[in-house]
Every structure is written in structure tokens, then in C-alpha cells.
Chain A
Amino acid sequence: MSKKLKAAIIGPGNIGTDLLIKAMRSDWIEPVWMVGIEDSAGIKRAQEFGIKVTTGGVQGLTPFIVEDDIKIVFDATSAYAHEINSKAVNEKGAMMIDLTPAAIGPYCVPPVNLLALLSEGRKENVNMVTCAGQATIPMIAAVSRIQSVEYGEIVATVSSESAGPGTRKNVDEFTRTTKDAIEKVGGAKEGKAIVVFNPASPPLIMRDTIHCLTRETPDQKAITESIHQMMADVQKYVPGYTLKNGPVFEGNRVSVSFEVEGLGDFLPKFAGNLDIMTAAALRTAEMYAEAIYNGDISA
């Protein structure tokens, strides 16, 4: 049998298309379907790549999930549409990887908790938090695995051009989901997320600052090592994840700043915030595929 797991993507917009291009390179995932709700540039592009398409929404896909042996479906639509999509896909036996802020399933930030999720066996649905979460929670976790973090705060600055209407209309959802995952996945006792949309032209590369307040005086050497190790883990799937400054230690504060440059597959390179989402989602799918292939979990 081929080791590749067959997949579908719902949402042929910028994120879905970028994800498709990344998935076509994957050793573990074979994208088969692109699902939209109308004829669009994204649907046409997928067709040109030789991918099967439907404009019938999730209902257009479901009859083929079993027939085409689709095991993983990515949802790159909106939180609003996600619940229905997820249910329809799960009923046909495929797993859902959620790139919307719906957060029905457990949060997944690959270098932090993907192995732990895998050890729990098959999941119906995992959620990729937010772009800011993917870019910053690894660093909160890098500190909290060394010592107790009383408070974790992140400031994400993204170019206005890279923030789609869904994000802009639902900023609160974005900050709330990120804050929640800083606590649940990052391991901070209390979390706070701040997002800034900067309209500068040319657009700026995504920039993230992560502040942790530790309970005890920070162990500078151990934390610095942990941060560099975590950075290397993120760079495995986002090579443009770059330490700008830090860690800075001041009292119990540990601060570090990053820039996230995307691969520029379909999205422009400055939109590292979107790239880190698609890369993390694919990484998650690949790890599930590998675990299934190795017989660690059932398909």
C-alpha cells in the first residue's frame, strides 16, 4: 500500500490554495479533492493542478470520501461553517483538521503537543488555534517546560494585507482562542494575546513578541537552550521562523521576539502568519499519516 494518506481541502481561498501546494510536495499526504461553494479562481487553480474539484460544498465531497479513500480533510473556511463541515466529514470516517478558530477539537501546536495528541489515538477533529498561536505558543511552552510560567503574553503584528476579512471581523475570537491556547497548550497559568494590524507598504513580515513571567527567578541558561531547541523544531516546517532578539531577562520577565517569513508557495513571503498555519496543519496531517502507516493508530 502507498504510505500516503489521501486528503481533501475545504476552502479554495488563499489559505486552502497555499495548503494544497504544500501538500502536493508531501511524502505523507496526497491531496485529492478541493471543495468550494462556487466557481472561483481557487477552484480553477486546483483543477489546473489536476485535483478533483466540487463547488457543492461539503455535500459535494461526502459521497466521495469512502469511494476515494479520503482519510483527512482540512477545513480552511470559517468558524461559522466549520461545525457542519466537521460533522459531515466525521460521519464518513475521515478526520478533520480545523484551520478555523471554531476550536471544536483539541488545540494542536505541532512541536508542543502533537506527540501527546497522537499518543491518545485517533481524533475526529483537531484545531490549529490561530496564526499567532502557532507562532508564539511554542515559545511559551519552551519556557514553561523549564519552570512555572505565571503569565504568558504574546503580541503579534501582522501586515493588514495578510489579515483576511474573517479575522478582521472577528478579532475577539482570534485573541480569545489564542489566549486560551497560551494557557492550555503553552502551559502559562494566565494568558494574554494582543494583535496589531499594520498597513505599511511594502507589507511587513509577521512579527511576534513573547513575554513570560516566571514564578521563580528564571534559569537563564536552561531557558535559552530550550528556546533555541524549540525554534529548531518549528523551523523543521517553517524555515523562515527567525529569532530577532532575546531571550531578554529582566527580573522574572523572559522576552523573546521572532519574525516569521513564509515560504511564498502561494501566499506572499511576508504573510508568515498564514504560512505557519498551513505548514502546521500539514505537519499535523503528516504525523497522523506516519502514525497510521506505522500501525500506531488506526486510520
Chain B
Amino acid sequence: MNLKDKKITLHDMTLRDGMHAKRHQISLHHMVDIASGLDDAGVPIIEVTHGDGLGGASVNYGFPAHSDEEYFNAVVPEMKNAKVSALLVPGIGTLDHLKMAADCGVKTIRVATHCTEADVAQQHIGLSSKLGLDTVGFLMMAHMTSAEDLLIQAKLMASYGANCIYCTDSAGYMLPDDVTERITLLRSGLHAEVELGFHGHHNLGLGVANSMAAVEAGANRIDASAAGLGAGAGNTPLEVFAAVLDRMSANHGVDIFRLMDVAEELVVPMMDSPIRLDRDSLVLGYAGVYSSFLLFARRAGEKYGVPSHEILLEMARLKAIGGQEDLIEDVAMDMARQVNQ
């Protein structure tokens, strides 16, 4: 594989996807420290939002330690070079949240929908683009649809005003060939000025390999997270991916040793439990389940006395998609009832 001189924009997920692994409880002080460390290491974009995006504060997804606005106001003014991005999932976050983020100095808005539902994002992509923000269409659970359908959805998002489209492997289910097929088709089917991105999860241990495949096929933005802090077995580990890019002489623009410092000295000590590929997260990747269901399944499993990996398998069988965290307690209760009968 030849990635020599390929220009790659690394987009940090530690403080957004990492919020899932921290049950949305990252302190303002950790947010600022980690974001500053990433900024110093040359990471150009850093996402800061509730794990489920703007407006994610809820019973369903968890109430965060601080509001999105408080996090932005703490982090944005401290950034020397890095820009701050925010995630928005239509149906959860609204145009009002988007305006608030823009007012706080957020420069990139990533509008996320399930991979077949791009048309619910029209208003949000439209507003972000109208405000002159870097506007990303983020197609989640992209393994659940074909490359051809993904291109149709990507074209919709581009037509609403997105200047970058993501193939998002929310379940960490994709194999490198799945990534290659999708990114290749997106690259050939979208206008050259539309950037492409890939967001991986490490549930099959393929976060780095899949991101490499994405770059080779034409993606130039890659999401990754310091020490992998993120939902499931975590995101593509940022410092690892950067080191690989460095070995391959790709143009990544970051200081890999500073990234290692951030991961080792700031992020790992903050973890509630080690981010690793355990049985539950392997099941996510193997069966194609939304990564942020992990901790919900664990809690429900404990409360109702059913194995959490079996809850996750049932979520896969029910074809649950991102956002359906409320189904997890239901599934656990149904399973507990069956056991008792």
C-alpha cells in the first residue's frame, strides 16, 4: 500500500466519541487539557460535543457533566490553531443547537444520519452551509447499506450543501475491503471538491487498517481518538494511526510523540475502565451493533441478570440503529422474563 505524501486531515474524537466511554462525564478541566495537548500536537480539528451530538443531554443517552455550550466556551478560546467541530444528529439536536454552536465559535458541523436517511438532514446541512461553516454529512452504520445506496445518500447530502461526506463504521463491523469498496465508489461518484472521510471503530481490531484502506481509496479526513477513547472498543487510536502514517511517509501534519504524550499522560489516566477489545465490544463488531450501546447493555444486563453480549446480539437481530438506546432496557426485560418462564 502506498500512502506516500497523501495529505490527511486528522479529526480528533477523544472529546466527543470519548464521551460515550466516559458516560458523558468528562470535566471541563480535562476537556481543556486534552484539547490543548492535541492542539499543540498539530491536530487540526477537534470534536467537542455530547457523545450523541448537540442536544444529546437526555435520560435516553445520559445527562452530561456540562452542557455543550459550557464545553465550547471552555475549549474554543484556548485553541491556538485547532478548530472545534460539533456533531448534530437530526431528531436529537436541532437548528437552535446548531446556531448556538456557531455562536460559540464552532467551525465544523457534522450532521449525522443513519446511512439510508440522509433526507432528514436537509435543514441542518443547509443551515450550516449557509452560515459558511465547514459542513460534513456523516452517514452512520454505513455497513448496513450497499456502496451504491451509500453513494445515493451521499449525493443527497452534497446537494444540501455538505462539502465533505463520511463513511461511518459506527459498529466497527467493516473489513478493509468493505471500506475500499465504499470510499472508491463515493470518490468516483461525487464531485472532486467534495472531501471524503472515514470514521472507524476498533471492535474487530481494524480501526487502523480500515483507515489506511480509506486513505488509499481516496478519503482525506480520518477520525481517530487519543488512546482510542470512544464507544465500544474505541475509535481508531489516533497516536497509533499517526505513527503508521508517519512510517508510510504520508503527509499527516502532527507531532506523533506529542500525541503519544496526550494519550498516555492525559487520556489513559482519565479512563473509567481500559478501552480494550473485550467480549461485548467484539460482539458489536462481529454482529454489527452501534458501538455506544455497549455500556447501556452492560448496565441493563447487570440490572436484569442477563448477559450483556446476548442483549447486544438481540439488538443486532432487531436491526436496531443509532439512537435506539431505549430499546436496550426493553430487550433486557424481555430476556429476563423469558428466563424466568
Q: Is A195 an interface residue (CB 8 A)?
A: yes
Stretch at the interface among B42-50, B257-265, B322-330: B322-330
B61, closest chain A residue (CB) = A194
Q: Is A200 an interface residue (CB 8 A)?
A: yes
Interface flags, B79-117, vs A, CB<8A=1, else 0: 000000000001110110000000000000000001011
Q: Is A142 an interface residue (CB 8 A)?
A: no
B330 touches A194 (CB 8 A): no
Chain A interface SS verdict (over half): strand
Q: Is A80 an interface residue (CB 8 A)?
A: no
Contacts of B120 in A (CB 8 A): 168-169, 171, 197
Which residue from B58, B119, B318 sits with its C-beta under 8 Å from A194?
B58
Q: A175-B91, A197-B117 are in contact. Are A170 and B326 (CB under 8 A)?
A: no
Q: How far is the CB of A42 from chain B (nearest CB, A)?
A: 22
Q: How far is the CA of A160 from the CA of B58 in the complex (A)?
A: 23
B321 touches A171 (CB 8 A): no
A194 touches B123 (CB 8 A): no
B162-207 contacts to A, CB under 8 A, are none
Q: Is B159 an interface residue (CB 8 A)?
A: no
Contacts of A244 in B (CB 8 A): 330
Q: Is A153 an interface residue (CB 8 A)?
A: yes
Contacts of A54 in B (CB 8 A): none
Q: A155-B60, A213-B59 are in contact. Are A198 and B330 (CB under 8 A)?
A: no
Contacts of A82 in B (CB 8 A): none
B119 touches A153 (CB 8 A): no
Contacts of B123 in A (CB 8 A): 169-172
Q: How far is the CA of A172 from the CA of B122 in the complex (A)?
A: 11
Q: How far is the CA of A239 from the CA of B144 in the complex (A)?
A: 34
Q: How far is the CA of A33 from the CA of B114 in the complex (A)?
A: 40
Q: Is B319 an interface residue (CB 8 A)?
A: yes
Q: Is B31 an interface residue (CB 8 A)?
A: no
Q: How far is the CA of A165 from the CA of B333 in the complex (A)?
A: 35
A169 touches B122 (CB 8 A): yes
Q: How far is the CA of A196 from the CA of B59 in the complex (A)?
A: 15
B334, closest chain A residue (CB) = A245
Q: A153-B59, A175-B91, A199-B117 are in contact. Are A209 and B326 (CB under 8 A)?
A: yes
Count residues on chain B whose CB falls below 8 Å from chain A CBs: 30
Contacts of B60 in A (CB 8 A): 153, 155, 194, 209, 211
Which residue from A157, A168, A169, A171 sits with its C-beta under 8 Å from B324?
A157
Contacts of B319 in A (CB 8 A): 198, 200, 204
Which residue from B59, B91, B95 sits with its C-beta under 8 Å from A197?
B91
B323 touches A175 (CB 8 A): no
A259, closest chain B residue (CB) = B330
Contacts of B324 in A (CB 8 A): 155, 157, 196, 198
B113, closest chain A residue (CB) = A197
B332, closest chain A residue (CB) = A245
Q: How far is the CB of B123 from chain A (nearest CB, A)?
A: 6
Interface flags, B115-150, vs A, CB<8A=1, else 0: 011011011100000000000000000001000000
Q: How far is the CB of A188 from chain B (nearest CB, A)?
A: 12
Q: How far is the CB of B292 from chain A (nearest CB, A)?
A: 13
Q: How far is the CA of A170 from the CA of B127 in the complex (A)?
A: 13
Q: Is A192 an interface residue (CB 8 A)?
A: yes
Q: How far is the CA of A255 from the CA of B122 in the complex (A)?
A: 32
Which residue from B90, B318, B326 sits with its C-beta under 8 Å from A172?
B90
Q: How far is the CB of A133 from chain B (nearest CB, A)?
A: 15
Q: A157-B324, A194-B58, A209-B60 are in contact. Are A172 and B114 (CB under 8 A)?
A: no
**A-B pairs with beta carbons under 8 Å apart, 28 shown:** A155-B60, A155-B324, A157-B323, A157-B326, A157-B327, A160-B117, A165-B119, A168-B119, A168-B120, A169-B120, A171-B90, A171-B120, A172-B95, A172-B124, A175-B91, A194-B60, A194-B92, A196-B324, A197-B114, A198-B320, A198-B324, A200-B319, A200-B321, A209-B330, A244-B330, A245-B329, A248-B333, A257-B329
Interface residues of B, Cβ cutoff 8 Å to A: 58-60, 90-92, 94-95, 114, 116-117, 119-120, 122-124, 144, 318-324, 326-327, 329-330, 333-334
Interface residues of A, Cβ cutoff 8 Å to B: 151, 153, 155, 157, 160, 165, 168-172, 175-176, 192, 194-200, 204, 207, 209, 211, 213, 244-245, 248, 253, 255, 257
